[in-house]
Amino acid sequence: MATLFMKADAKVGSIAPNGYDKALSGAAGLLLAAVIVALVRGHTQWPQVPGIVWAHLFTVLISLALTPWMLLRPRGTPTHRLLGKIWVLAMVATAALSLLVRTINPGHFSVIHILSIFVLIMAPRVWLTARVHQVARHRATVRGLVTGALLIAGFFTLPPFRLLGGWLFG
């Protein structure tokens, strides 16, 4: 299978995880742990959280949990393909649901919603580039989404004035 990928996109080199993949995996794991700790610490306030926020958090948790597995395990396998489809669907759902969450600027979109539109465009590209064996583009798109849409956006949910940050540090 790896030779099929290599012939289709000779610029990739090894499809094995490299240092950047490992760093992204570690960061995703740390963010997942922070979100879980925040959720546990905020359990008394759960009833006040709107359903749309819970749906958004659920899809984010799926994406965060799958990210290390997808980046560190063998690629091109049936399991990788299946989990990749789930990851893409979770990312699309996260972005779509985020358009309905308007707690930062009640009733209006915020700057973070630009990222949601970007994810809605780029997440399907992850699947399409894998399907046509454009490994370099696939890898770059995955890394970009993990870096920007999961990790950077996730980091900005942790200030004390945001829901998860308030629970985590409050």
Q: What is the pLDDT of residues 59-84, one digit of tens each?
A: 999 999 999 999 999 999 999 999 99
Q: Are 96 and 120 in contact (CB under 8 A)?
A: yes
- What pLDDT sits at residue 108? 60
Backbone phi, then psi, for 38, in 5-degree steps?
-60, -45
The three state secondary structure string of 122-169 is HHHHHHHHHHCCCHHHHHHHHHHHHHHHHHHHHHCCCCCCCHHHHHHH
Q: Are 71 and 21 in contact (CB under 8 A)?
A: yes
Length of the chain: 170
Please state, in angstroms and rounded to a whole number, the distance separating the CA atoms of residues 37 and 12. Answer: 37
Domain coordinates in residue numbering, the chain: 18-169
Q: Are 145 and 126 in contact (CB under 8 A)?
A: yes
H helix or E strand, kind and range, residue 94: helix 78-98
Please state, in angstroms and rounded to a whole number, the distance separating the CA atoms of residues 170 and 158. Answer: 11
Look up the pTM and report it. 0.87
Start-to-end CA span in the chain (Å): 49
Stretch 24-39: mean pLDDT, rounded?
98
b/e sequence 115-152, b meaning 16+ C-beta within 10 Å:
bbeebbebbebbbebbeebbbebbbebbeebbbebbbe
Q: Are 119 and 91 in contact (CB under 8 A)?
A: yes
**Residue 129 confidence (pLDDT) above 80:** yes
**Residue 117 confidence (pLDDT) above 70:** yes
**Residue 139 confidence (pLDDT) above 60:** yes
- What pLDDT sits at residue 101? 83
**Residue 140 confidence (pLDDT) above 90:** yes
